[in-house]
Amino acid sequence: MKVDIVIVGAGPGGADAALLLAKAGKKVVLVEKDEIGGECLNWGCVPTKALVHAAEILDITKESKRFGIEISDAKADWQAVLAYKNRICTMLRMGLTKSLEAAGVEIVKGFGKLKDKNTVLIEPSLSNEAARSLEADYIILAAGSAPFVIPSITLSERIVTSRNIYDWPELPKSILIVGGGVIGLEFASFLNAFGVAVTIVEMLPRIANTEDEDVSAELTRIMERRGVKILTSTKLAALTEDEKGLNAKFENEAGLTEATFEKALICIGRRPAFSQMGLAEIGITVEKGVKVNAKLQTSIPNIYAIGDLTGESILAYISSAHGKIAAHEILGKEKKYNLEVFPRCIFTNPEIASCGLTEKQLTEKGIEYEVKKAMYAANGKASIHGKRDGFLKLLIEKSTDKILGAAIIGDSANLMIDKAVLAIAQGMTAGQLEEILAGHPVLSELYTAALES
Ligand SMILES: Cc1cc2nc3c(=O)[nH]c(=O)nc-3n(C[C@H](O)[C@H](O)[C@H](O)COP(=O)(O)OP(=O)(O)OC[C@H]3O[C@@H](n4cnc5c(N)ncnc54)[C@H](O)[C@@H]3O)c2cc1C
């Protein structure tokens, strides 16, 4: 069978590309080995944020007395929380599937593999189905990423990755989270709220290492206050399993220590998922991910690669932007996104969001800058919400007054960051941003407070 475009992978990247191309009248086949919506909708962004939200409701309920509301015995029912998460994922997956079908996209279940520059072989997911071969003018590879696992550690019922916690019949009493990056921190935050004793082990000197040091320090302070144990500059030397649970050996400057846990969650990063897809065999260059140019073409020009698969980011909205850029290229059009200045969000409690350059990057670039900071504790709305932890800071170039970076840790940081993204992307100066009024009482007044500081 011959079609215009075959897309391998129905995550946010592949699905958005498919929708755009089909709506433009192209004959599109979308090949997916697993679930429509990819990692994002089924195991990543959406389900974790549902669990974050449930944990937030539990926290608010437990603290309700300080707002004059009496609720007794608030607790998490893990199976009911999972049922809520499943309802959201199913609803969104069905919605996406309907949109794809309505646009005329043909969805084919199976594992897509390249035979040559115009042919995708589809190994069926069911053994009673026959393999298919599809010819296409263009191919978009959107196969995403998979969790990276320490080679010396064998995954099991007790030692899991972010994919498996939804299979737990009940919450464990204790968990070791290996890796203090974005994914590990989000899991640590909501599992702690659900009453699990959480320990994070991180090899680097601080958690949330990609953020500024003061953001990491504030998150560490708050998480430790909530009872999360954080071991930094510490290596997991061994993780063994017996009938009672897991034994972990930690190694740091002070020497070796040991601790036992019921479960362990490995969150040490993700890697592009191109194995078994026959890419190298047909001459596609693969480095840390599938190598692409600015138009997202691989080393074979009619084959595009997008999203996590390129190794350029692990973010759903970058995958989605990539999908739309590649689709426009195929249609002979150009689509631009600002892939320099965008929100970087961490859904911990409290949330973290940043954009533009960090203090470390400004220093490395030799840019002289000024820090303007405002504390949540001094903001009226934050006090009303009872969420007084955190701060907002703006990094301003001294010579031009331009805002070059922003970081927020605190209530609704992921909403609050949009104003900074817009200001930095539009090249605004601190003076210009100060002219823009915020409402009252709102969290956005933190911008005014920082700029006037
Ligand atoms: C726990 C967790 C939380 C996250 N939270 C966020 C968040 O809050 N915000 C955010 O922006 N990002 C988040 N991410 C990252 C986000 O999920 C990914 O960046 C995003 O899903 C990548 O989209 P994609 O389209 O590139 O690939 P994916 O979503 O990974 O989709 C790829 C699809 O391709 C399929 N596939 C792979 N190989 C083949 C093949 N050979 N044949 C057929 N099908 C194939 C896969 O089954 C999958 O469905 C999170 C990730 C995790 C793991």
Q: What are phi and psi of 148, to 5 degrees?
A: -85, 135
Q: pLDDT per residue over 18-65, tens digit each? A: 999 999 999 999 999 999 999 999 999 999 999 999 999 999 999 999
Ligand 1 touching residue 16 (CB < 6 A): no
- Single out the catalytic residue among 53, 322, 328, 440: 440
Domain at 159-268, CATH homologous superfamily: FAD/NAD(P)-binding domain (3.50.50.60)
Tell me what percent of the residues of the chain surpass a pLDDT of 70: 100
Q: How far is the centre of ligand 1, averaged over its atoms, from the C-alpha of 167 (Å)?
A: 19
pLDDT at 216: 98
Tell me what percent of the residues of the chain surpass a pLDDT of 90: 96
Ligand 1 touching residue 9 (CB < 6 A): yes
Closest CA to 341 of 269, 446, 428: 428
The reported pTM is 0.96
Q: How far is the centre of ligand 1, averaged over its atoms, from the C-alpha of 362 (Å)?
A: 31
440 as an active site residue: the answer is yes
Ligand 1 touching residue 405 (CB < 6 A): no
When pLDDT is cut at 50, 70 and 90, the band that residue 129 belongs to is: confident
Q: How far is the centre of ligand 1, averaged over its atoms, from the C-alpha of 60 (Å)?
A: 31
Q: pLDDT per residue over 247-267, tens digit each? A: 999 999 999 999 999 999 999
Q: Where are the domains of the chain?
A: 2-147+271-330, 159-268, 344-451
- Using CB atoms within 10 A of its CB, is residue 367 exposed (0-12), middle (13-18) or buried (19+)? middle
Ligand 1 touching residue 314 (CB < 6 A): yes
pLDDT at residue 292 greater than cutoff 80:
yes
pLDDT at 115: 97
Ligand 1 touching residue 305 (CB < 6 A): no
Q: How far is the centre of ligand 1, averaged over its atoms, from the C-alpha of 214 (Å)?
A: 30
CATH of domain 2-147+271-330: 3.50.50.60
> What is the C-alpha to C-alpha distance for residues 259 and 313, in angstroms, rounded to an integer?
34
Ligand 1 touching residue 267 (CB < 6 A): no
Q: pLDDT per residue over 80-101, tens digit each? A: 999 999 999 999 999 999 999 9
- Tell me the average pLDDT across 195-202: 98
pLDDT at residue 128 greater than cutoff 80:
no
Token pair in block for residue 369: 């800058």
> What is the C-alpha to C-alpha distance for residues 317 and 306, in angstroms, rounded to an integer?
11
pLDDT at residue 244 greater than cutoff 90:
no
pLDDT at 198: 98
DSSP E strands: which ranges in 35-131? 106-109, 111-116, 119-123
- Tell me the average pLDDT across 5-23: 98
Q: Please report, as a single letter, which amino acid is at residue 349.
A: N
DSSP E strands: which ranges in 267-337? 270-272, 303-305
Ligand 1 touching residue 316 (CB < 6 A): yes
Among protein residues, the one with the nearest Cα to ligand 1's atom 49 is: 38
Ligand 1 touching residue 181 (CB < 6 A): no
Among protein residues, the one with the nearest Cα to ligand 1's atom 3 is: 44
Among protein residues, the one with the nearest Cα to ligand 1's atom 37 is: 143
Q: What is the DSSP letter of 412?
A: T
Ligand 1 touching residue 41 (CB < 6 A): no
> What is the β-pairing status of strands 391-397 and 403-409?
antiparallel
Q: How far is the centre of ligand 1, averaged over its atoms, from the C-alpha of 321 (Å)?
A: 14
- The atom number, within ligand 1, closest to the CA of 307 reads 26
Q: How far is the centre of ligand 1, averaged over its atoms, from the C-alpha of 413 (Å)?
A: 24
Which residues are within 8 A (CB) of 86 and not within 5 positions of it... i.e. 6 or more apart?
Answer: none
Domain at 344-451, CATH homologous superfamily: FAD/NAD-linked reductase, C-terminal dimerisation domain (3.30.390.30)
Token pair in block for residue 68: 């004059």
Per CATH, 2-147+271-330 and 159-268 having the same topology is answered yes
CB 352 within 8 A of CB 217: no
- Using CB atoms within 10 A of its CB, is residue 438 exposed (0-12), middle (13-18) or buried (19+)? middle
When pLDDT is cut at 50, 70 and 90, the band that residue 131 belongs to is: confident
Q: How far is the centre of ligand 1, averaged over its atoms, from the C-alpha of 174 (Å)?
A: 28
pLDDT at residue 151 greater than cutoff 90:
no
Ligand 1 touching residue 8 (CB < 6 A): yes
Among protein residues, the one with the nearest Cα to ligand 1's atom 21 is: 40
CB 195 within 8 A of CB 76: yes
pLDDT at 150: 86
Among protein residues, the one with the nearest Cα to ligand 1's atom 17 is: 40
CB 23 within 8 A of CB 74: no
> What is the C-alpha to C-alpha distance for residues 263 and 156, in angstroms, rounded to an integer?
10
78-103 helix and 45-62 helix, angle to the nearest 10 degrees: 140
> What is the C-alpha to C-alpha distance for residues 312 and 270, in angstroms, rounded to an integer?
11
> Mean of the per-residue pLDDT values for the chain?
96
- Tell me the average pLDDT across 96-118: 97
Among protein residues, the one with the nearest Cα to ligand 1's atom 6 is: 45
